[in-house]
Amino acid sequence: MHPVEVVHLEHDGKVLLVDDAGNGPQLPVQGRQDDSKPLRLPTSDEIEKMGIKWKAMRETRLLFGTLVFRVVKGYPKIEWPEHWAWKDDMISDNAVHPVAREAIYRSIHRLVSKVMICNDAGKVLLAKVERGHFRGFWTLPGGYMDHDEHPSIGCVRETLEEIGLSIVLQKTQPVITQKIFTDEGISFVSFTYRSAWDGDITTLKLQTEEISEVKWFSPSDARDVAVSHFDKEALRSL
C-alpha cells in the first residue's frame, strides 16, 4: 500500500524515486505500460536511511476519491543528483505511482498574462467576467497564456478576443506576481502590462459568453472591486 505521506525531493529537474521497498534512486522509463513494479516518492524515513539531508518547503494535499495523500515538497542539501529521475520522464511511465505524477503536475507554474489599459483621465478599464474562477466579478483583461506564447503577446491576444480591442503595450516592465492559493499546491504566476487607450467603450465588441460588461474605474475604485490577488497587486502600481 502506498504511504499516506511522502516527500517530493527535487533538485534542478531531478526527483528522487524509490521502489515499493523504499530502495532508490529508481529511474522511470518513458512510455512504459507493462506490469513493472511501481515506483513512488520516498517517505522521510527512507530518505533518512539514505543519509540525505533536506529542507521542507511546503505541503500539498492530493485527493484520489476517498484517499488523501500528503506530499511534502523539499530541497535536498546535496550536490546535483545526476542519477535521480528527470521529472519530465516521470509523466509518461505508468509504473510511476499517480501520487508522484500528480505531485510533478502540481509543481508546474500556471502562467497568466494581463493588462492595465488606462485612458487620458487616468482611469483603468475592467471587464466583468462570465466564466472561470472570477465569474460575476471585475478583472483586468487577460488570461492564461498559450503554449509557447510570450506574456507580452498573450495579453494582447486575450484583450482582442475578450473585448475586441487591439492594444499596443507601453515600454515598461510588467508587474510580476506569484502565489499558491490553496493546499492543492498549484502555483500561479501573473505578468501584468500597461497600455493606453482613450476610446469609447460602447464601440467595443465583447465576447459575450466570456465578458458581460466593461467599465472605467479610478485606480483606487478598481482595487476595491477587483477580486484577483494579481489584479490588486498590479493596480497598486498606478
Residue 100 has, within 13 A of its CA and on its CB side, a CA count of: 33
Per-residue pLDDT of the chain (238 residues; tens, 9 = 90+): 899 999 999 999 999 999 999 999 999 999 999 989 999 999 999 999 999 999 999 999 999 999 999 999 999 999 999 999 999 999 999 999 999 999 999 999 999 999 999 999 999 999 999 987 889 999 999 999 999 999 999 999 999 999 999 999 999 999 999 999 999 999 999 999 999 999 999 999 999 999 999 999 999 999 999 999 999 999 999 9
Cell of 227: 477580486
Class of domain 5-106: alpha beta
Alpha helices by DSSP H, listed for 40-189, are 44-49, 87-90, 98-106, 151-163
Q: How far apart are the first and last CA of the chain?
A: 54
CA distance 19 to 38: 6
CATH code of the region 110-235 = 3.90.79.10
Please report where in the chains the cell 473585448 appears, as a residue.
163
Residue type, 39: L
CATH 3.90.79.10-classified regions of the chain: 110-235
CA distance 28 to 86: 8
Q: What is the dihedral of CA 94, 95, 96, 102, to 10 degrees?
A: 30
Cell of 215: 467599465
